[in-house]
């Protein structure tokens, strides 16, 4: 199938667009979860066992919370930067 035809079909079908957007968001979320798991596991787990000890559990919780805090900070900062850039563009036009 021609890629131009398939792209126009995607653009003309709102349900398909919504489905693709949802699946893309799911994929991004899974990628984030896997990355976070790798980072926090390497940082907090000294040796695998059948149960998490209190120290490891506390470390994992803090690692995830710090990651979320940092992600929110970066997103907010990026949003402010984008807003400032858009405001400048409007002002100078």
- pLDDT tens by residue, the chain, 93 residues: 455 555 666 667 888 889 999 999 999 989 988 988 899 999 999 888 899 999 999 999 999 999 889 988 988 888 888 888 777 766 655
Tokens of 88: 């400048």
CATH of domain 3-92: 1.10.287.810
Q: Are 30 and 20 in contact (CB under 8 A)?
A: no
Domain boundaries, the chain: 3-92
What is the pTM for the complete model shown? 0.58
């Amino acid at each position: 199938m021609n890629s131009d035809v398939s792209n126009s079909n995607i653009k003309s079908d709102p349900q398909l667009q919504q489905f693709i957007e949802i699946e893309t968001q799911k994929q991004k979320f899974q990628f984030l979860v896997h990355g976070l798991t790798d980072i926090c596991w390497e940082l907090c787990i000294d040796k695998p066992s059948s149960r998490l000890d209190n120290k490891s559990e506390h470390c994992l919780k803090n690692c995830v919370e710090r990651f979320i805090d940092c992600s929110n900070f970066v997103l907010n900062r990026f949003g402010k930067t984008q807003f400032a850039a858009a405001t400048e563009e409007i002002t100078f036009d």
